[in-house]
Amino acid sequence: MKKNNYTTETLPEILTAQVIADYLQISRRRVYELMRPGEIPFFDIGYSKRVIKHDFIKWIASRKVS
């Protein structure tokens, strides 16, 4: 399976765990571990978790070390 090489501009407005995993170059399982209170903000659609792009970008910025 070919992985997508996303950039900030090409990310969709609503992100799946797989899209985030491809973007961060980590496993999808690790993304789900990060989708807990206080980490990557998400919302549920049934059994699926989704992340709003704006919230994801803000989360990345909050993780930067000066």
Residue 65 CA to residue 3 CA, distance in Å, equals 28
Q: Can you give the pLDDT at residue 3?
A: 67
Q: Can you give the pLDDT at residue 10?
A: 94
pTM: 0.88
Q: Can you give the pLDDT at residue 37?
A: 85
Q: Can you give the pLDDT at residue 1?
A: 53
Residue 16 CA to residue 21 CA, distance in Å, equals 9
Rounded mean pLDDT for each run of 10 residues along the chain, 66 residues in total: 80 97 97 93 96 97 89
Q: Can you give the pLDDT at residue 5?
A: 85
Residue 27 CA to residue 8 CA, distance in Å, equals 19
